[in-house]
Amino acid sequence: MSEIKNILLVGVGGQGVLLASELLSDAAFKSDFDVKKSEVHGMAQRGGVVSSHVRFGEKVHSPLIPQGDCDVMLAFEQAEALRWLHFMKSSGVVIVNQRVWVPPIALMKGFEYPQDPLGMVQERMQRVLKINAQQMAEDLGNPKVENTLLLGTLSTVIELPVTIWQDVIRARVPKGTDALNLRAFELGLQSVTGEK
């Protein structure tokens, strides 16, 4: 069987997970791979659970990643990394944005946000990269580039040419923000150099 790269992007509605997965699938498409991408939208408004499966390789059949086959998970939020951990290959890489987003339901009795989700992920997985993308995006002057920053980090663990990433970013981000987004991508890319 031909090699397929399985990437899961997870987070909370409003964090830009779906745009990030659009960019990733575009980059894989432009790199001449067969690509499938799947997510369910409908009630995925602000604050809901969002997940997107992206798979690329010579020939991809299922748009969904089989459980236990995921090579890389990019989690935009700590508890979301935990929610989808069962999809991971034991040798896979989990990239966790250190952001914590407590849902309003936690205000009601009987619901609790997990104690230390990142710690739990680190306990179970050998290869975990953490990044404080929210802070870094704010330092760059625009919290909205958090997702591009995270893509920069993702780009260090999947092999797609950097020039293609840059093309895709230029083509997809809002007009006038391409320079900022390219800088965010670069920052995300450099923030993990050497520790994979």
Q: Which residues bind other proteins (CB under 8 A)?
A: 1, 12-13, 25-26, 29, 34-43, 45-49, 60-68, 79-80, 82-86, 102-108, 111-114, 117, 120
Residue 29 or 177 with smaller CB distance to other proteins: 29
Residue 145 or 189 with smaller CB distance to other proteins: 145
Residue 1 or 176 with smaller CB distance to other proteins: 1
Q: Which two tokens stand for residue 134?
A: 């929210």
The CB-of-190 to other proteins minimum distance in angstroms stands at 28
E-strand stretches of 43-137: 49-57, 70-75, 88-97, 127-131
Quote the CA–CA distance of 62 and 54 in Å, as a whole number.
Answer: 10
Identify whether the C-beta of residue 10 lies closer than 8 Å to the C-beta of residue 17.
yes
The CB-of-66 to other proteins minimum distance in angstroms stands at 4
Burial class (CB in 10 A: 0-12, 13-18, 19+), 188: buried
Residue 142 or 186 with smaller CB distance to other proteins: 142
Quote the CA–CA distance of 12 and 80 in Å, as a whole number.
Answer: 8
The CB-of-194 to other proteins minimum distance in angstroms stands at 30
